[in-house]
């Protein structure tokens, strides 16, 4: 495979286009996890506002046999993916007495953002706003998504994940165990819950903290330069990452998850095996950079003096290789990416109409909807060729990759009559 393609694990269109230029022719630190299981404890009554500000109380559901209280966030990739699945659960078990209740305790998610999430993911169960993470604290909830299944006496009978299909950094083709659905079935049937506890995986709830902003490490002076250099290429509007990291406000509530993902080198995505030497474009943060971010969080995440802010990075818009000689669409209509699940590689063969040999000096593959394109590979199928020659990659795309732009005098030779194969890897994002 193309060595400059950094493929990262879970990932994510609609249409890919390739443009071509021809020669001559056209920290390890983590907030403490308490391991005491809440199973068997009773949840106190609560009342919280929904996305429209209307108060909703647990009392409103008296008469239901059980409720799945699920902590969610509007930007966490896992919380997005599981939105539709919770709708399905509500539809499946609603008549038999289940009520799904979504709770948003993230300080970074406003009521408006929560309403937008409900609308975008067509959420059919109540979504309530837990301002100041009071309920999350009372229930000791840590992640999104994290489920507490309670019975009619408000006693927690199951705690943990929804199922095992998606984790951070991976997705299985299928779930192998629908933990929540099984627990609901068992509870409604009066059976014992076979696995009352599983591990909830996902982002940390963005909590309100009473930490004085005393640190000397500030966002403006020390942290913004690191994020601009290492994160913003993906974590900005319209790019593949699920939330932006382009301003001080963007960082609020994400700190615990950021510390976790940089601590275990999940972010920035970089899968090259260090056993094979050093790479010039190694994306990982240095220990010094991680340490600075850690000190900044410990010091209360001070914003600092806006005069210290670096110039925002400038990204090429449009074609990075300059004006192309030819633009080739993957096909004449877009591909519909479903809201969830795992999609097999999609392959589209196109005849670029080349009736003479071509010498390609620059080439760029571009997704239309970056949020759901994990990667693109464009192969050359030589004339008369039946099988794709996997060595004949013309160009690839993955977030963070650069286009093919060859040095003077060097070109990729493509025979007259060749076709192009677009291999598309799409990754659903809950919409």
H helices present in 253-330, as ranges? 255-263, 287-298
- Residue from the set 18, 69, 200, 258 that interacts with ligand HEC by CB under 6 A: 258
Angstrom distance (rounded) from CA 247 to CA 225: 11
Among 126, 253, 324, 400, binds ligand HEC (CB under 6 A): 400
Q: Would you count residue 234 as binding ligand HEC (CB under 6 A)?
A: yes
Q: Is position 230 an interface residue for ligand HEC (rule: CB under 6 A)? A: yes
301 near ligand HEC (CB under 6 A): no
Euclidean distance between CA atoms 10 and 146, whole angstroms: 19
Are the beta carbons of 86 and 162 closer than 8 angstroms?
A: yes
Tell me whether residue 243 or residue 354 sits nearer to ligand HEC (CB atom): 243
Task: Kindly state whether residue 396 participates in binding ligand HEC, applying the rule CB under 6 A.
Answer: no
Range 167-206, binding ligand HEC (CB under 6 A)? 168-169, 203
Q: Is 295 exposed, middle or buried (0-12, 13-18, 19+ CB in 10 A)?
A: middle
- Smallest gap from Cβ 334 to ligand HEC, in A, equals 21
430 binds ligand HEC (CB under 6 A): no
Among positions 105, 106, 257, 369, the unique one binding ligand HEC when judged by CB under 6 A:
257
Q: Kindly state whether residue 267 participates in binding ligand HEC, applying the rule CB under 6 A.
A: yes
**Per rule CB under 6 A, is residue 100 in the interface with ligand HEC?**
no
Q: Omega into 268 within 30° of 0, i.e. cis?
A: yes
**H/E element, 171:** strand 170-171
Task: Give the number of residues in contact with ligand HEC, rule: CB under 6 A.
Answer: 26
CB of residue 63 to ligand HEC, shortest distance in Å: 38
Q: In the window 151-170, what residues touch ligand HEC (CB under 6 A)?
A: 168-169
Does 399 contact ligand HEC by CB under 6 A? yes
What 3-state DSSP class applies to 344?
coil
Q: Dihedrals φ, ψ of 383, to 5°? A: -60, 135
Which position among 219, 254, 296, 354 is part of the footprint of ligand HEC (CB under 6 A)? 254
Query: Buried b / exposed e across 153-184, counting CB within 10 Å, b at 16+?
Result: ebebbbbbbbbbbbebbebeeebeebbbbbbb
Our CA dihedral for 278, 279, 283, 284, rounded to 10 degrees, sits at 0
Asked if 309 interacts with ligand HEC (CB under 6 A), we say no
CB of 27 to ligand HEC, least distance (A): 12
3-state SS assignment for residue 223: helix
- Taking CB under 6 A as the rule, does residue 136 contact ligand HEC? no
Give residues in contact with ligand HEC (CB under 6 A): 10-11, 77, 168-169, 203, 230-231, 233-235, 240-242, 254, 257-258, 261-262, 266-269, 285, 399-400
């Amino acid at each position: 495979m193309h060595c400059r393609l950094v493929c990262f694990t879970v990932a994510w269109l609609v249409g890919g286009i390739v443009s071509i230029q021809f020669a001559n022719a056209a920290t390890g630190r983590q907030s403490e996890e308490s391991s005491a299981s809440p199973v068997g404890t009773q949840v106190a009554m609560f009342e919280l506002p929904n996305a429209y500000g209307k108060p909703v109380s647990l009392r409103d559901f008296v008469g239901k046999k059980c409720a799945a209280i699920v902590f969610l966030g509007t930007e966490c990739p896992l919380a997005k993916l599981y939105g539709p699945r919770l709708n399905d659960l509500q539809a499946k078990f609603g008549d038999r007495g289940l009520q799904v209740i979504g709770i948003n305790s993230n300080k970074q998610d406003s009521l408006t953002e929560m309403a937008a999430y409900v609308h975008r993911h067509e959420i059919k169960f109540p979504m309530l706003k837990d301002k100041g993470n009071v309920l999350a604290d009372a229930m000791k909830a840590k992640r999104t998504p994290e489920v507490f299944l309670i019975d009619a006496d408000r006693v927690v009978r199951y705690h943990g994940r929804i199922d095992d299909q998606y984790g951070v950094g991976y997705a299985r083709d299928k779930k192998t165990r629908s933990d929540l659905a099984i627990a609901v079935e068992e509870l409604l049937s009066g059976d014992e819950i076979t696995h009352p506890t599983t591990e909830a995986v996902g982002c940390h709830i963005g909590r309100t903290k009473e930490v004085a902003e005393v640190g000397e490490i500030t966002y403006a002076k020390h942290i913004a330069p690191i994020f601009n250099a290492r994160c913003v290429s993906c974590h900005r509007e319209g790019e593949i990452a699920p939330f932006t990291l382009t301003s001080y406000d963007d960082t609020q509530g994400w700190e615990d998850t950021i510390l976790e993902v940089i601590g275990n080198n999940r972010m920035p995505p970089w899968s090259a095996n260090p056993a094979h030497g050093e790479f010039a474009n190694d994306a990982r943060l240095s220990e010094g950079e991680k340490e600075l971010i850690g000190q900044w969080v410990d010091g209360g995440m001070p914003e600092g003096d806006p005069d210290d802010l670096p110039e925002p990075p400038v990204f090429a818009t449009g074609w990075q290789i300059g004006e192309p000689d030819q633009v080739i669409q993957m096909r004449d209509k877009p591909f519909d990416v479903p809201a969830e699940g795992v999609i097999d590689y999609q392959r589209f063969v196109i005849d670029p109409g080349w009736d003479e040999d071509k010498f390609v000096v620059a080439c760029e593959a571009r997704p239309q909807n970056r949020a759901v394109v994990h990667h693109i590979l464009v192969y050359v199928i030589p004339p008369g060729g039946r099988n794709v020659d996997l060595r004949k990659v013309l160009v690839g795309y993955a977030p963070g990759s650069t286009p093919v732009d060859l040095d003077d005098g060097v070109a990729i030779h493509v025979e007259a009559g060749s076709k192009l194969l677009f291999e598309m890897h799409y990754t659903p994002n809950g919409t």
